[in-house]
Amino acid sequence: MHGVMRGYIGAVDAVNYRVGRMIMYGIFALMGVLLWSSISKTFFTPTLWTLEMAQFLMVGYYILGGPYSIQMGSNVRMDLLYGGWSVRRKAWFDIFTVCLLIFYLCVLLYGALGSTAYSLGYWKTEPVSYLFGVAIGTEEVGRLERSSSAWRPYMWPIKTVMILGFFLMILQCLSELCKDVLRLRGESV
């Protein structure tokens, strides 16, 4: 069992480390879009796409960088009490909080799946079942969802990024849960 947990921790941490290191350079893409927005508003005709593209880039940066942040331990904590606790007490507290976080992320993932199904044109009342093809052939297919802004980009790409980010975050939280279980057993992680 310990070998399986260590293998899972190693695999998930490696994937999220690489994704996080790659995504952290996305701030430069965001800066480029915002710089172009400033230049175009000052010297040329303002562009319609820059604000919404900056928002999309920020969502991707934040959501896909979350698992890396948890892995590096750079998430916000209340260290007033936590900092003075023993390793064992920290592990118990982390197990409790990561279970709450996993529940919250599962709810977000469920909502993201439904929202993505809707943006892809499935209009029924149970979009998640239609997304996974449970009722293929019976769903009413509509049009692809677009933003209500003047630029009107399709919404499914950013919603797909949200699904990927929530899924990677759940995997990283399960990795942290395994690390805490190993710490409770007195093993080094």
pLDDT in tens, 155-168: 999 999 999 999 99
Q: Map out the domains of the chain as residue ranges.
A: 2-75+85-184
Written as six digits, the tokens of 161 are: 């990024």
Contact 16, 172 (CB under 8 A): yes
pLDDT at 120: 83
The CA angle 26-114-97, to the nearest 5 degrees, is 65
Lowest mean pLDDT among 14-28, 137-151, 157-171: 137-151
d(CA 90, CA 189): 14
Residues in contact with 122: Cβ distance below 8 Å, sequence separation at least 6, in sequence order: 130, 131, 139, 140, 141, 142
pLDDT at 132: 57
